[in-house]
Amino acid sequence: MYGGGYGRPPPPPSGFVAPPMASMPSQYGRQLPQGPGGFAFQQPGPPPGADPQLWRWFSSVDEDRSGTITVTELQTALINGDWTQFDLDTVKMLMSIFDTDRNGTINFTEFAGLWRYIVDWQNVFRHFDTDRSGTIEGRELAEALRSFGYTLSPPLLNLVEQKYSSRPTPGYGPPPGITFDRFVRACVVVKTLTEAFQRTDTDRDGWIYINYEQFMQIVLSAP
Amino acid sequence: MYGGGYGRPPPPPSGFVAPPMASMPSQYGRQLPQGPGGFAFQQPGPPPGADPQLWRWFSSVDEDRSGTITVTELQTALINGDWTQFDLDTVKMLMSIFDTDRNGTINFTEFAGLWRYIVDWQNVFRHFDTDRSGTIEGRELAEALRSFGYTLSPPLLNLVEQKYSSRPTPGYGPPPGITFDRFVRACVVVKTLTEAFQRTDTDRDGWIYINYEQFMQIVLSAP
């Protein structure tokens, strides 16, 4: 469904920067015993059975070769189609999803999930960026959300478009488009809020009765 | 009461790059700084009677000397104490408050309000950054919000702290601090959401009955 023949070249891909073209050593050192001594530490190798391509990607993001990816390394590696870095809130959202052991960094196992997630979203983004502008505009956003099962009213769609566009919306003309990072966040926010509403709406009548604490808890928990 | 004798030098000031250090106001009300209430109009040069110092600041932000400040120019000029640029959502929030003629740029008249707003928030930030770390941490955040009249429960304070901290919160240790830009945004978001809740809670019993459309409209309208 995604990735059909394009009429013209796609915009610069969003997601991880610097495709894996750097020459990497063809043999990976097994992990050396790490302890005191005068020997230089060798970079830890991939886990047994790991996808070598994925390992190369992981290593290129792990700039200091620490064996784990920090937030800063992740933010450096993740770019939009217009070469801007992913915004902090999107990076924090990704960490909250994939830093499953909650130690503040992404290890190789966690990276595999993150990588897959970004690639899947890249395909979604390209599919719905029907005018190949490199950003998602109003109609494309509506189509994407509808395909995920969220049929928002025009006023709500307009709010989502304004909130996640990469520039303020001037009083005239259409709002600017939404870059990759903010598109992913917008979709996750709509999903999170809608599901929280549905969980609260136990009798399924489309209305909820909540107090201030519950209301703020729902809103502040969204990315 | 703000800006009393510091035990040690304050961190780099947040706000406009190289802000005027002299003649900061020493007092103001315990309210969130407010946006302008009046109208604004385009000025080709400094209006008669304009503060020459403010005009120099405006001109330094208006890099291309176009007579108006674009979002990009604004984002370039606004820095946090750790020298990071203001995040896009905060810049968009500032534009939504001060671009009163909604033409997508900030003219000199609008800039005067924006400048005042930033200076006011700088004073708020410095006042509540009691450990002079250059960021706002949990207890400081609670104190700041309480001074504005928002006494949030510990779980909600924790959510605000996590959401607006400038790094993800690892599973152990305290969350990282909140930089100036995100502190301003956090306070405005809490204010916006609380006021929206209160407007909906017409019988003032602390509970609201809302449908999905209203719920999403409130949440997506917050910065």
Q: What are the two backbone dihedrals, phi and then psi, of residue A221, each rounded to the nearest 5 degrees?
A: -85, -15
Residue B182 identity (one-letter amino acid): R
> Residue B17: what pLDDT?
67
Contact check, Cβ <8 Å, B168/A99: yes
Nearest to B93 by CA among B169, B188, B214, B171: B188
Cβ neighbours of A221 in B, within 8 Å: 159
Rounded to the nearest integer, the mean pLDDT of chain B is 84
Q: How far apart are CA B87 and CA A188, in angstroms?
A: 19
> Residue B15: what pLDDT?
79
> Residue B175: what pLDDT?
76
What percentage of chain B exceeds 90 in pLDDT? 68
pLDDT in tens, chain A (223 residues): 333 333 343 444 578 764 333 222 333 333 333 333 334 444 567 888 899 999 999 999 999 999 999 988 999 999 998 888 999 999 999 999 999 998 989 999 999 999 999 999 999 999 999 999 999 999 999 999 999 999 999 999 999 999 999 887 766 777 789 999 999 999 999 999 999 999 999 999 999 999 999 999 999 999 9
Least confident of A207-221, B156-170, B205-219: B156-170
pLDDT tens per residue, range A150-176: 999 999 999 999 999 988 776 677 778
Q: Which of A110, A153, A216 to mutate to test the interface with B (most CBs of B within 10 A)?
A: A216
pLDDT tens per residue, range B46-97: 888 889 999 999 999 999 999 999 988 999 999 998 888 999 999 999 999 9
**Mean pLDDT, range B172-196, rounded to an integer:** 93
Instruction: Retrieve residue B210's tokens.
Output: 């809302």
Res B129 pLDDT > 50: yes
**Mean pLDDT, range B28-44, rounded to an integer:** 48
Q: What is the DSSP letter of B3?
A: S
**Mean pLDDT, range B5-10, rounded to an integer:** 37
Instruction: Name the maximum alpha-carbon separation found in chain A.
Output: 70
User: What sign does the CA torsion over B189, B193, B194, B196 have?
Assistant: positive
Q: How far apart are CA A168 and CA B89, in angstroms?
A: 9
Three-state secondary-structure class, residue A197: helix
* Locus of tokens 């999903």: A191
> Residue A45: what pLDDT?
78
d(CA B148, nearest CA chain A) in Å? 17
B90, B30 contact by CB (below 8 A): no
Q: How far is CA A106 from the centre of its chain?
A: 14
Three-state secondary-structure class, residue A204: coil
Instruction: Retrieve residue B85's tokens.
Output: 């640029």
Here the ipTM equals 0.82
* Locus of tokens 């070598």: A52
Q: Which of A218, A220, A221 to mutate to test the interface with B (most CBs of B within 10 A)?
A: A220
Cβ neighbours of A91 in B, within 8 Å: 168
Q: Model pTM? A: 0.82
Give A199's contacts (C-beta < 8 A, 6+ positions apart).
none
A190, A152 contact by CB (below 8 A): yes
A17, A77 contact by CB (below 8 A): yes
> Residue B114: what pLDDT?
96
Q: What is the DSSP letter of B85?
A: B
pLDDT confidence bin for B13, thresholds 50/70/90: low
Number of Cβ within a 10 Å radius of residue A138: 18
Crossing angle of the two packed helices B154-164 and B180-200, in degrees rounded to 10 = 130
Contact check, Cβ <8 Å, B211/A206: yes
Per residue, what are the HEC states of A52-116?
A: HHHHHHHHHHCCCCCCCECHHHHHHHEECCCCCECCHHHHHHHHHHHCCCCCCCECHHHHHHHHH
CA angle B74, B76, B81 (to 5 degrees): 105
